[in-house]
């Protein structure tokens, strides 16, 4: 395990983060934007677990924070889908470009 | 250079599969196929957790993300389907701008990650389910074995004896409130015709 090192995990985490940001920026379907957010959260989780594995002072903390992020991501997905369903009920579309009701 | 041991080979395979799935998630247009690519990405990340020795996190990832969140997302896709093949198309200029943004972000993160040297890593493994659960219940010793970076060596690390009991309770109550709110928000209503 030690022959992999920390850097490849950080590289993969950064790649997943960039993919998630691109997905959030480029998609117009609100559910697809939510998937991009899930990808971003996963990359952060991978970062936390990798640091917990390779830094002796963060053995427990990395895993604890990762569990909390997983639970909060589940809550975030539930509330976001509820909002998307509400928006679809009112506007008959999930295009995020159409969500301009609060625009001044 | 690193030798070609089993963890290295496993890491290369899993990381390649995860990265390819993430790229396919970005470039895919069909939302249902995007959900499938997201499934593969999440499974790849869970396998990486197992590879890192964090079995409980990997299992939680499998259960909560792959089993729960993804099913929720697929339900959302099905409930908001708009006709057979109607897709929301992204303009080409948006692809270019977002791709440049993502590429620049990855380069920035990769340059930063490259400067990290692997800390002196003893061969012991991550704490398992037992210490994790005890720390959540607040009866475990959470003092780190070494001094953290940025903390003076003579200053004693002061931590609350109840380690993670309060965050655990806050997260659980938060989850309860959010799920009640989601059920209230998404309840069946008469649809308003635009």
Considering its fold, how many domains does chain B have in total?
2
Q: Choose which CATH entry (3.40.30.10, 2.60.40.3500, 1.10.287.3510, 1.10.3720.10) describes domain A7-93.
A: 1.10.287.3510
**Sign of the C-alpha dihedral, residues B45, B49, B55, B57?**
negative
Report whether B74 contacts B33 (CB < 8 A): no
Do B76 and B17 belong together in one domain?
yes
Task: Report the pLDDT value the prediction gives residue B26, as an integer from 0 to 100.
Answer: 92
Q: A22 pLDDT band (50/70/90 cuts)?
A: very high
Which residues partner with A95 through β-bridges?
A29
Question: Which residues in A19-32 are b (16+ Cβ under 10 Å) and which e?
Answer: bbbbbbbbbbbbbb
The answer to whether residue B53 is domain-embedded is yes
Task: Report the pLDDT value the prediction gives residue B175, as an integer from 0 to 100.
Answer: 92
Say if residue A50's pLDDT is above 80. Answer: yes
The answer to whether residue B41 is domain-embedded is yes
Task: Report the pLDDT value the prediction gives residue B164, as an integer from 0 to 100.
Answer: 80
B68 to chain A, closest Cα gap in Å: 8
Nearest by CB to residue A77, choosing from B73, B101, B116, is B73
Largest CA distance in chain A: 56
Say if residue A17's pLDDT is above 80. Answer: yes
Of B54, B19, B5, B59, which Cα lies nearest the Cα of A54? B54
pLDDT tens string B17-39: 999 999 999 998 888 899 999 99
Task: Report the pLDDT value the prediction gives residue A102, as an integer from 0 to 100.
Answer: 78
Nearest by CB to residue A54, choosing from B7, B88, B121, is B121
**Tokens linked to B36:** 């499938």
Nearest by CB to residue A55, choosing from B69, B119, B182, is B119
- pLDDT (average), residues A7-34: 92
Task: Report the pLDDT value the prediction gives residue B146, as an integer from 0 to 100.
Answer: 52
The answer to whether residue B120 is domain-embedded is no
| B134: containing domain | 127-142+160-189
Task: Report the pLDDT value the prediction gives residue A101, as an integer from 0 to 100.
Answer: 80
Is the Cβ of B21 closer than 8 Å to some Cβ of chain A?
no
**Are A86 and B186 within 8 A, CB to CB?**
yes
Task: Report the pLDDT value the prediction gives residue A43, as an integer from 0 to 100.
Answer: 95
The residue with tokens 């080409």 is: B92
The answer to whether residue B102 is domain-embedded is no
**Tokens linked to A32:** 């697809």
Which percentage of chain A shows pLDDT scores above 70? 97
B63 to chain A, closest Cα gap in Å: 10
Each domain of chain A, given as residue ranges in start order, spans 7-93
The answer to whether residue B66 is domain-embedded is yes
Mean pLDDT by 10 residues, chain B (194 residues): 79 95 91 92 95 90 90 87 65 89 93 78 70 75 53 55 77 93 80 59
Task: Report the pLDDT value the prediction gives residue B83, as an integer from 0 to 100.
Answer: 60
Say if residue A24's pLDDT is above 80. Answer: yes
Please list every residue in chain B whose beta carbon sits closer than 8 Å to the beta carbon of residue A94: 80, 82, 88
The answer to whether residue B70 is domain-embedded is yes
- CATH at B19: 1.20.120.1200
- Report how far residue B137's alpha carbon sits from residue B134's, in angstroms, rounded to the nearest whole number: 5
- Report how far residue B180's alpha carbon sits from residue B185's, in angstroms, rounded to the nearest whole number: 9
The burial class, CB within 10 Å (0-12 / 13-18 / 19+), for B166 is: exposed
- pLDDT (average), residues A14-34: 92
Of A18, A7, A49, A21, which Cα lies nearest the Cα of B46? A49
Q: Is A29 helix (H, G, I), strand (E, B) or coil?
A: strand
């Amino acid at each position: 395990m030690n022959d992999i090192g920390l850097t490849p995990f950080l590289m993969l985490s950064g790649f997943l983060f960039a993919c998630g940001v691109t997905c959030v920026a480029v998609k117009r379907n609100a559910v697809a934007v939510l998937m991009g957010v899930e990808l971003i959260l996963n990359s952060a989780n991978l970062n936390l677990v990798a640091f917990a594995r390779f830094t002796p002072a963060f053995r427990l903390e990395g895993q604890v924070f990762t569990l909390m992020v997983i639970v909060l991501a589940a809550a975030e997905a539930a509330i976001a889908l509820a909002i998307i369903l509400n928006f679809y009920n009112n506007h008959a579309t999930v295009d995020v470009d159409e969500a301009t009701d609060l625009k001044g | 250079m690193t030798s070609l041991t089993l963890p290295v080979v496993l890491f290369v395979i899993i990381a390649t599969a995860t990265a390819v799935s993430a790229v396919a998630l970005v470039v895919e247009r069909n939302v249902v196929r995007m959900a499938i690519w997201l499934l593969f990405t999440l499974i790849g990340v869970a396998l990486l957790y197992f590879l890192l020795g964090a079995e409980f996190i990997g299992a939680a990832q499998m259960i909560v993300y792959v089993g729960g969140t993804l099913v929720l997302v697929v339900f959302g896709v099905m409930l908001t389907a708009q006709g057979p093949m109607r897709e929301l198309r992204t303009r080409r200029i948006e692809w270019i701008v977002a791709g440049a943004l993502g590429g620049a972000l990855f380069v920035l993160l990769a340059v930063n990650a490259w400067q990290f040297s692997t800390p002196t890593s003893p061969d012991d493994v991550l704490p398992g389910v037992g210490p994790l659960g005890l720390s959540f219940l607040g009866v475990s010793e959470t003092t780190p074995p070494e001094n953290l970076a940025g903390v003076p060596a003579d200053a004693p690390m002061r931590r609350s004896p109840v380690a993670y009991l309060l965050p655990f309770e806050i997260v659980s109550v938060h989850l309860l409130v959010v799920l009640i709110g989601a059920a209230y928000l998404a309840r069946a209503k008469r649809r308003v015709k635009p």
